[in-house]
Every structure is written in structure tokens, then in C-alpha cells.
Amino acid sequence: MYQTTINKAVELVGIGLHKGSPVNLRLEPLEANSGIVFHRRDVNLSIPLKPENVVDTKMATVIGKDGYVISTIEHLLSAVYAYGIDNLKIIVDADEVPVMDGSSASFCMILDEAGIKQLDTPKKVMLIKKEIEVREGEKYVKLSPAKDLQYDFTIKFPHPVINKQEFVLKFTKESYKQEISRARTFGFLHEVQYLRSKGLALGGSLENAVVLDDKKILNPEGLRYSDEFVRHKILDAIGDMSLVGMNFIGNYEAFAGSHDLNHKLTLELLKDPENYEVVELVGAKAKEMEKAYA
């Protein structure tokens, strides 16, 4: 199995969640072993996708360099990771990735339009060798060894629409597209009002998020899945975990996980080479993985 990039450059325009202004997004192919690289066209600055470049995880995963940032990268990265793309240049002309409809469905569509191109260098994956856990109170995220990739996420909110939800994704590209990609980000009305008072979430609306008051969902169309909330948390987790730099094989499990905990988990994983093994996908193992990204 070989490394991949996209077959051709593609573009889209969407609203930035925090500034509420249009953002132009362009994806371009890169050569083997380039990895995922973000580029701010407006300030001519490139930021490689690495855990050490993460500068904020409070509201979203934010990377930065030399005082410049790119925010809300996790939904796009979730789709890129799910498609098994190893090398990609992501160009924006602002300090955030467009939010689109709050899910990763638009990014899946643009990747389908771009097509996947195989390169002539073997694909590398990370095998999780030890259990790694990051815990804060009752909240935790952890990785454990396994023969495939699975995401098991549980959330618990004191809200009548959400309550406790759990979802287990046995990962394939197709299961991701069908079961995860359309799940939208969500928030509570009082939080949105507070953020706007601080000059944030100016682009947030019922068009790109599920919004709840104290008792109900405010979106007239309702939910896309009955458990859309926990499915979106898996979407986020997939994007956040792409910061390890390659696809991995193992089980991810979380209770009330967050961007911050996911970031700490990537750091914990990478700080000790005994935690993982990087292998080139050749032979029988490559055939198994190819099925996942078919």
C-alpha cells in the first residue's frame, strides 16, 4: 500500500465560525513524505501539522507559528484522515478553516471531487503498542493496542435531548462517510450569546451547528442522527488524533473527551517511542488496510 495525495487541486468558499467572514479554502497535492501542511496565503506562512504547533484547544484545535494561527482545523482533518490522505497542502486566506455546515460532509465531497492519487512510496502507519490514558477527574481519553481501528466515545450532558450517549465506530472510509461525516457541531444558546459578547462565534448559526436552549433543539429540521451529538465528538476526535502525523491502528476510547484531552493524548503517545511502532504497509497487512480506505 502506498502513500497518497489528491489527484488535482480543488477549492471552496465558506464562512469562518468565529469572524463570520468568507474564507477561501484550497487543497493542493504534495509529494510523498511531505505530510499535511497548512498555509496562510494572506501572510505567506506555512504551518506543518505537528502536535508542537498546537497553540490552543479551548474551543477548537488551533495551530500557529510566529504569532499567526489557523483555527477550527479538526473537521477538515477528520475527513482527510478518514480518506487516508498522507500528503496535502491546505491553503486558507484567513485565520480559520471555513465551518461549512458544521460537519465534515462538505470536505468529503471536495475530496471526492479531487480524487485520490497513489504515490510511489510505501504508506506508513503507527501501531499502538501500549495503553496510554489521559484523565482529568471522570473525563478521560485513551489508546490501546488492537488489530484494527475503532473509536468508542461516551458523552453525558444534563440536558433532556442529549443525556448519555455512546457510539462505537468500527473504522472504514465508508463507515465514516455514512455514520460520522454528517454529524454537526453543537452548542447551547447561552454559550453562543456569551461568545458573541466576546467577539467570537460571529459566523455561528442554525445553518452550521445544532443549537439547544435549556429544553430543546432550536434547529427546525431537527437532528440528522438521533445520537448526532456523540457522533460529532467522534468526528472531532478523528481530526484531533491526525496530529500524530499518520494513520494509526488501535482502539480510541473516551468519556467526555475534548480537543484539549485529545491533544494531551497525542503528546503522551509520542513522547515515548515504546508506546508505538511505525511500520511500512507491505504484504498482507497492506491488503487489510486497503479495504478500510476503498
User: What's the farthest any 2 CA atoms get from each other in the chain?
Assistant: 56
Coil, helix or strand for 126? strand
Task: Give the span between the Cα atoms of 30 and 3, in whole angstroms.
Answer: 11
Q: E strands along the chain, which residues?
A: 2-6, 10-15, 22-29, 36-40, 45-48, 54-56, 62-65, 68-70, 88-92, 116-122, 124-128, 132-136, 139-144, 149-157, 163-170, 186-188, 210-212, 248-255, 276-280
Catalytic residue among 18, 39, 232, 259: 259
Instruction: Report the b/e string of 162-179 with b at 16+ CB within 10 A.
Output: beebebebebbbeebbeb
Task: Give the span between the Cα atoms of 235 and 225, in whole angstroms.
Answer: 14
DSSP per residue over 58-106, as a string? SSS-EEEETTEEEB--HHHHHHHHHTT---EEEEESSSB---TTSSSHH
Task: Give the span between the Cα atoms of 209 and 231, in whole angstroms.
Answer: 14
Residue 278: other Cβ atoms inside 10 A:
12
Q: Is the dihedral of CA 34, 39, 45, 49 positive or negative?
A: negative
User: Grid coordinates representing 49?
Assistant: 501539522
- Is 232 known to be catalytic? no
DSSP secondary structure letter of residue 223: -
Q: Are 167 and 230 in contact (CB under 8 A)?
A: yes
What residues are annotated to the active site?
A: 259
